[in-house]
Amino acid sequence: MPDESTSTELSNAGLATDDLRVAVVAAACTIGLTLGLRYGLGREIAFVWRLLPLGPYFLSLFTKRLPLGGLDTPRNWSLLTVAVTLGAFVYFGVVV
């Protein structure tokens, strides 16, 4: 029978995997935004704006202790990251 420390370790391992999934999506979106704007559209934007997809990832890390209920899932954070990336791509690629 597993003791309490084993279940806590398994729970923490699940959190680490969730954070890693969101981090991978944020990294891929950051690289994709930079490459898409630079080589796809020929636009050069400031470094800070290219880091915009990392915002939802850090927000997900800092809101871990808040009771967000069913909204606090890796899927939702990943979708938010993709939405922010697409929004930045459209804004800097089409509007500006």
pLDDT tens digits, 34-82: 999 999 999 999 999 999 999 999 999 999 888 888 888 999 999 999 9
Domain boundaries, the chain: 4-95
| Contact yes or no for 50/34 (Cβ under 8 A) | yes
pLDDT at 20 (0 to 100): 94
pLDDT of 5 strictly over 70:
no
Q: Which two tokens stand for residue 24?
A: 């991978």
Measuring CA to CA, which residue among 74, 65, 62, 63 is closest to residue 20?
74
pLDDT at 57 (0 to 100): 95
- Measured CA to CA, the distance from residue 89 to residue 72 in angstroms comes to 25
User: Tokens 């690629």 appear where?
Assistant: 93
pLDDT of 4 strictly over 70:
no
Please give the average per-residue pLDDT across 17-28, as a whole number: 94
pLDDT at 8 (0 to 100): 59
Q: Residue 17 burial by CB count (10 A; 0-12/13-18/19+): exposed, middle or buried?
A: exposed
